[in-house]
Structure 1
Amino acid sequence: MKQTLKRALMPGLMATGLISATFLPAKPASADQNVWRDIGIGAATGAVSSIVTKHKVVPNIINGAAAGAAVNQSRDLSTRKGQRPDVLRDAGFGAAAGAAAGGVTNRRHTIRNAANGAAVGAVINILTPQPRR
């Protein structure tokens, strides 16, 4: 009887112990608030640029949001602490992300996509000029 209980319970206890030890220290995933702010700024800039240029709104919002996320990440990777982000670097990363997002969404106007992305990078730099912490 004792052996039967050990054979029945031990595998379950071992699995429970391993799983709980693995998941216990895990933190819930939470995004930095600056990412959401820059995605919002990018989407708004994409919407405004589509209204000004009289083109489709939704693809430009997607393009702007992607460029905003790329500019945010480029700031984290390429800007040293205490240094103000460079407007040309932000515009360049925004242009590259805008062109890439346009390629993914099957939009044929690469220069227009890059221009929208560069505008997003410049607007993010103007609206959030504080040095990186």
Structure 2
Amino acid sequence: MGLYADPERRRYPVYPNLDHKKFFPGSNIMIATVTGDYSERVESLPDAQVKSELLGVLQSMYPNITIPAPLDFTFHRWHADPIYRGSYSNWPPYFVQQHHDNLRANVGRLYFTGEATSQKYFVVLLSMTALCVLQVC
């Protein structure tokens, strides 16, 4: 996990690296997180500009390393999507297994899915996206 402090609040502060033995070793997948008003700003930018900003932040974090261009780049404009509106799961420390079981339990014929319901890949991992990337969908 990389953390970055910038004079501009919420400017790409968290970088979970999914290339980890407990997630997707050898995948070279990295996620950048933005929140609040900054996320709305980022959503309004063209993909190329967001990618350029991210590479600039990584270069600031690691000034003695040449940061290679990514093989691929994508991000979901969650705030603009009326189905999501910027939501993702972030479980507090007191969240226990029973809470998780309740969260993903079906209600009649209605079933819940997504990263919030995954026991293994909750919180920062967008499970299906990462799996699709690994399987070259």
TM-score by length of 2: 0.31
Bigger Rg over Cα: 1
TM-score by length of 1: 0.31
Query: By percentage of residues, which structure has more helix?
Result: 1
Instruction: State the structure with bigger RCO (CA 8 A, min sep 6), 1 or 2.
Output: 1
